[in-house]
Amino acid sequence: MLTLDAEQTAARTWFEGLRTRICAAFEAIEREAGSDAGFDYIAWDRTDPSGEPGGGGVRGVMKGRVFEKVGVNVSTVGGTFESEFGKTIHGAGEDPRFFATGISLVAHMANPHVPAVHMNTRFLRTTKQWFGGGADLNPPIPVDEDTADFHAALAAACDAHPGVGDYPRFKQWADDYFYIPHRGVHRGVGGIFYDHVEGDFDASFAFTRAVGEAFLDVYPAIVRRRMEAPFTEADIARRNEWRGRYAEFNLVYDRGTLFGLKTGGNVDAILMSLPPVATWS
């Protein structure tokens, strides 16, 4: 069992509470659609390479009428990085000990007019400590209103925390990061991405909480706006093709996928980001 200090406990508690509220909001949408779908939760434990207990997490997955597949995971892990991988992590080049806690969410939607979405926020400690995360919207059929509202919510979260939040920089970071070089396309319509937000713990943590709150406020509203829109077989085909792009990015380029696999995380939780159905031409 990991022993946590006050900052680590505060971060873990926040991420777990956000998970609970997000899952409740998504289940409420399913009820509005006449579905009784709910999240199934599976706890998992991690063994550190040293052989000691290395924390664990809870994988939550729901398959419903609106959310074809949505995963909301929380984890709190710690121990030591394997030597070569540790050299690639901020602050772990000389000392491989680490701690990480966070929430990760990916939703793939049944209706092609409802955008898929990704969100995660996390707190890490090596010889340094920092917050990271963000959110990005992935619509098969982009709608300017949805894109504008999603970005406005994240921009407001950044603007409310000057000195930490930097919307223009974090938006550009998302555009650069969520890009598929071998396709020459972006994964979606962007959002924000940030990492290595160091400095004052309270200020950085407050900003990270604001990102979570912004997501919880804006995304369910977008879902409700589009979930009853009529769609065609051609729309489904377009959705499934874009899901293929999403899968390619997460398997080839995503740093979170690599981090989870390299640190002995639960494989099913790590790969919950993959869509239930996708196509490649």
pLDDT digits (tens, 9 = 90+) for 243-264: 999 999 999 999 889 888 888 7
Question: 78 lies in a domain?
Answer: yes
Query: 236-257: string of b/e by CB count within 10 Å (b at 16+)?
Result: bebbbebbbbbbbbbeebbebb
Question: 100 lies in a domain?
Answer: yes
Cβ atoms of residues 104 and 86 within 8 Å: no
Q: Can you give the residue range of the structural domain that contains 146?
A: 6-273
Neighbours of 206 (CB within 10 A): 15
DSSP letters spanning 98-112 = EEEEEEEEEEEESST
CATH of the domain at 93: 3.40.1500.10
pTM of the model: 0.94
Give me the number of domains the chain comprises: 1
Q: Give start and end residues of each alpha helix (H) in 164-200.
A: 167-177
Catalytic-role residue among 118, 151, 161, 196: 118
What is the per-residue pLDDT across 200-235, written as a single tens digit (0 to 9) for each?
A: 999 999 999 999 999 999 999 999 999 999 999 999
Strands (DSSP E) found in 21-96: 40-47, 53-62, 67-80
118 is catalytic: yes
* Two structure tokens written together for 134: 């963000």
Question: 278 lies in a domain?
Answer: no
Question: 164 lies in a domain?
Answer: yes
Question: 101 lies in a domain?
Answer: yes
Question: 32 lies in a domain?
Answer: yes
> Does 167 score more than 80 pLDDT?
yes
Question: 39 lies in a domain?
Answer: yes
Question: 134 lies in a domain?
Answer: yes
